[in-house]
């Protein structure tokens, strides 16, 4: 009798397992990186999708950001990539994206909701390949508490980079703060202020033309700020090439007066800094030509090598629904990359006044972004320009090249990489 019971139990377990695997016939893999803990929010939305679609299971593979930048392109080139991925090199990887149009229920909704961002994902076609998981705007944060303690007035809207640098130095001198100003080590971060100084980034034919007087204006300032101690060489100077380094931890630890980064830091600062001091987003400082940061962001895209295009389309249709995106943006404190939600349709899940102020500051900066900045963001080879800019400028800052030599090398690097790409 006992043996019969055991046999029955074993059979039931096997049958259940068999039934489960039969139900989840299709497994989709989504490669994902986190700025904070947004994969958890995404997972909760996907759980609802799986409940409605028991024949599809979705696995989120959370990887370091570096893997998205370095491993994913090789996986895609080898035809062994994931079905979906969260990417930031929006146009650079576009040849691997799938056209979702035949697999989504209402392409008009996608075009109306994500219009200009779809062009970033498909610069040369009308393809629909994904949606923005966040829209980002670069801009500075300041430690407002430091300004108050030092009795230094914060420069207002319309202040120039020079005025902000002088104020940050003033605060640092009075309070003995080690780093008056820090910028993320990223070509993308430098490009906004360079455009503010008048950099055009492209010539009259629309071809990339990185070095001009506007870019030199900004590069000279960055060089000088590193020499006079406004910025520390430890951040930009301590690595080589195009490696990204952020100063978010230094800022959160009260080591920095002014920190040039972007809107994606809001959620993190709200959690890590909290009310330890008033971290305050300020409007993009001005140059001679504009007061602009760079737009950017991350997108969830579908890959053309997927073996399950129908299921991928179904998933993307579900995730792109307004209520799901509102939940995703709201819980993660991300600026919406959905046009309707961007006009106030998101209830941000925070009571933090600093976070709310930062969100409104960055959202308010979007209309002021220079068209050149949008063009640069939409240019599929923009990372070639960003990498050349940051790596060569860095070599000048540490004294390996003069600024003039660095400008020549920047242009050669861009030309070399574009030529390598043109061979295909």
Q: At what angle do helices 187-196 and 213-228 cross, to 10 degrees?
A: 120
Nearer to another protein, 296 or 330 (CB): 296
Nearer to another protein, 70 or 162 (CB): 70
Q: Could you tell me the smallest distance in angstroms from the CB atom of residue 409 to another protein?
A: 7
- The helix or strand, by DSSP H or E, that contains position 141, with its residue range, turns out to be strand 130-143
Strand partners, 59: 29
Beta-carbon contacts of residue 191 (< 8 Å; ≥ 6 apart): 199, 201, 294, 373, 376, 385, 386, 389
Q: List the one residue from 151, 206, 241, 367 that touches another protein (CB under 8 A).
A: 241
**Quick check: 162 binds another protein (CB under 8 A)?**
no
**Quick check: 415 binds another protein (CB under 8 A)?**
no
Q: Could you tell me the smallest distance in angstroms from the CB atom of residue 123 to another protein?
A: 14
Nearer to another protein, 78 or 204 (CB): 78
Whole-angstrom distance, CA of residue 327 vs CA of residue 323: 6
Phi/psi of residue 343, nearest 5 degrees: -95, 30
Nearer to another protein, 50 or 375 (CB): 375
**Quick check: 176 binds another protein (CB under 8 A)?**
no
CA 291 to chain centre: 20
**Quick check: 92 binds another protein (CB under 8 A)?**
yes
Q: List the one residue from 86, 103, 331, 409 that touches another protein (CB under 8 A).
A: 409
Q: Determine the size of the site formed for another protein (CB under 8 A).
A: 40
CA 8 to chain centre: 54
Whole-angstrom distance, CA of residue 331 vs CA of residue 253: 25
Residues 67-86: x where in contact with another protein by CB under 8 A, - otherwise, as a string:
--xx--xx--xx--------
Nearer to another protein, 85 or 358 (CB): 85
Whole-angstrom distance, CA of residue 6 vs CA of residue 227: 78
Among the candidate windows 209-217, 236-244, 274-282, 370-378, which touches another protein by CB under 8 A? 236-244
Whole-angstrom distance, CA of residue 15 vs CA of residue 28: 24
Q: Could you tell me the smallest distance in angstroms from the CB atom of residue 395 to another protein?
A: 5
**Quick check: 395 binds another protein (CB under 8 A)?**
yes
Give the three-class secondary structure for 222: helix
Q: Could you tell me the smallest distance in angstroms from the CB atom of residue 234 to another protein?
A: 5
Among residues 156, 50, 97, the alpha carbon closest in space to that of 302 is found at 97
Q: Are 31 and 72 in contact (CB under 8 A)?
A: yes
What residues make contact with another protein under the rule CB under 8 A? 69-70, 73-74, 77-78, 89, 92, 178, 232-234, 237-243, 245, 381, 383-384, 387, 394-395, 397-401, 405, 409, 412, 417-418, 420-421, 423-424
């Amino acid at each position: 009798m006992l043996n019969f019971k055991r046999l029955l139990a074993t059979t039931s377990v096997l049958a259940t397992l068999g039934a489960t695997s039969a139900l989840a016939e299709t497994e989709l893999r989504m490669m994902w990186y986190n700025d904070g803990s947004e994969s958890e929010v995404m997972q909760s939305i996907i759980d609802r999708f799986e409940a409605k679609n028991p024949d599809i299971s979705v696995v989120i593979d959370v990887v370091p950001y570096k893997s998205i930048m370095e491993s994913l392109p090789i996986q895609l080139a080898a035809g062994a990539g994931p079905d979906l991925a969260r990417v930031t090199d929006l146009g650079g990887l576009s040849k691997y994206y799938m056209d979702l149009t035949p697999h989504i229920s209402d392409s008009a909704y996608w075009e109306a909701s994500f219009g200009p961002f779809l062009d970033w994902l498909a610069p040369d076609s009308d393809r629909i390949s994904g949606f923005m998981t966040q829209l980002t705007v670069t801009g500075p944060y300041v430690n407002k508490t430091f300004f108050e303690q030092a009795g230094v007035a914060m420069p207002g809207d319309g202040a120039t980079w020079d005025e902000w640098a002088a104020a940050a130095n003033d605060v640092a001198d009075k309070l003995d703060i080690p780093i008056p100003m820090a910028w993320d080590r990223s070509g993308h971060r430098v490009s906004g202020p360079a455009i503010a100084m008048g950099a055009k980034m492209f010539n009259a034919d629309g071809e990339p033309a990185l070095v001009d007087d506007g870019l030199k204006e900004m590069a000279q300032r960055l060089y000088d700020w590193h020499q006079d101690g406004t910025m520390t060489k430890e951040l930009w100077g301590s690595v080589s090439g195009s490696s990204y380094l952020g100063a978010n931890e230094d800022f959160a630890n009260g080591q920095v007066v002014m920190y040039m980064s972007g809107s994606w830091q809001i959620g993190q600062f709200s959690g890590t800094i909290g009310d330890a001091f008033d971290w305050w987003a300020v409007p993009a400082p001005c140059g001679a030509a504009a007061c602009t940061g760079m737009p950017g962001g991350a997108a969830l895209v579908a890959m053309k090598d997927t073996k399950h295009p129908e299921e991928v389309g179904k998933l993307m249709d579900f995730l792109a629904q307004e209520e799901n995106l509102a939940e995703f943006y709201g819980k993660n404190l991300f600026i919406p990359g959905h046009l309707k939600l961007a006009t106030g349709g998101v209830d941000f899940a925070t009571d933090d006044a600093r976070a709310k102020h930062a969100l409104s500051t960055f959202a308010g900066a979007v209309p002021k972004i220079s068209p050149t900045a949008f063009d640069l963001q939409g240019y599929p080879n923009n990372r070639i320009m960003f990498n050349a800019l940051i790596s060569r400028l860095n070599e000048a800052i540490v004294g390996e090249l003069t600024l003039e030599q660095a400008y020549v090398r920047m242009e050669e690097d861009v030309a070399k990489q574009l030529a390598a790409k043109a061979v295909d």
